[in-house]
Structure 1
Amino acid sequence: MKADDAGRSRGRHDLGLLDGLVQLSFAVHAALGRVAERHELSLIQVRLLGILRDREPGMQELATYLNLDKSSITGLVTRAEGRGLVRRFTTPEDRRAVNVTLTPKGRELAQVFAKQLELELAVLVQDLSEADRRRLSTLASRVVLDDLHRRYPDGVLPPRTPS
């Protein structure tokens, strides 16, 4: 977009659902990329840390969340282990199953990352009123959760099928 186009569109309040959502996703993706770069993380590593913030999934579950095949998820976890961010462990229920958890260093990085990303995203919504920010948060949450419910009505992610 040219500078004059940006100036003209500033007064325009509706890009339409398609352009609005797509351009918003680009802006969020760019913010994620900026913060990831500061920590020498790839976006897939950022997603891994985000998933592990509140769960300790098995390798297959991680592959499903990240839409990766087994060899890719193994490499991703191995690299994160090499940086001291995650560790693998077995559970007493099934010694063959391998789960993944954040290390203290990984948990600290995930928290720092989240705070820095929050600051980056605050810039995107700084011109919105507090009421509009709450409304955006509510609507975004509803879209995401409704989508998850549609795709996984029983609350369980399906096993990943090989491509």
Structure 2
Amino acid sequence: MTSDAVVDDALVRSAFRVMGVLTRAGAAHDLSLTQLRVLGILRDRRLRMTELAGYLGLDKSTMSGLVDRAERRGLLARGRNPGDKRVVDVFITPAGLELAGRVQAEIQRDLAPATGRLDPRQRAQLAELLELVLA
């Protein structure tokens, strides 16, 4: 196997492991992977609906349905943009923030067997390399 193929294989295998952890965490809280991503994205920001749809690669109608379902669960809310009253923002509610924190802790716990084998320098290096791959 070429070195590129080895890297690609390792990246795919790690993606499957992470997706498994995310899928189980979402299922435990009746959340899809997309809903998990929305909670993660909105943990520290308030976005226009169109910006959120762009982050997720979704069209506006799909995004509206996703936000509607999360609003019914009390996880997200919509409000007028402070800078432009014609624009609708989406933001996480306190209940959504609490759930996002719990899910994040569960994900970290479930990834710990893999990441715990790395020393602090290796974890920092892994994070750097992953950021380069994702850029």
Q: Which has the higher helix share?
A: 2
CA distance in 2, matches of 1:21, 1:117: 19
Residue number in structure 2 paired with 1:78:
68
Checking the alignment, whether the CA contact within 8 Å between 2:48 and 2:90 is kept in structure 1 is yes
Residue from 19, 22, 28 that aligns with 1:29: 19
Q: Identical aligned pairs, as a percentage?
A: 44
TM-score by length of 2: 0.91
Moved over 6 A (4+): none
Letter in 2 for 1:31: V
Cα RMSD (Å): 1.6
- Specify the SS of the correspondent of 2:47: coil
Quick one: distance in 1 between partners of 2:27 and 2:47? Answer: 26
Deviation at 1:91, TM superposition (A): 2.1
Specify the code of the residue in structure 2 equivalent to 1:94: D
SS in 2 for 1:138: helix
Q: How does 1:84-95 map to 2 (within 5 A)?
A: 84-95=74-85
TM-score of the two chains, using structure 1 as the length reference: 0.76
SS at match of 2:79: strand
**Structure 1: any 5+ residue segments left out of the alignment?**
1-14, 148-163
1:63 is displaced (CA, Å) by: 0.7
**What is aligned with 2:34?**
44
Larger radius of gyration: 1
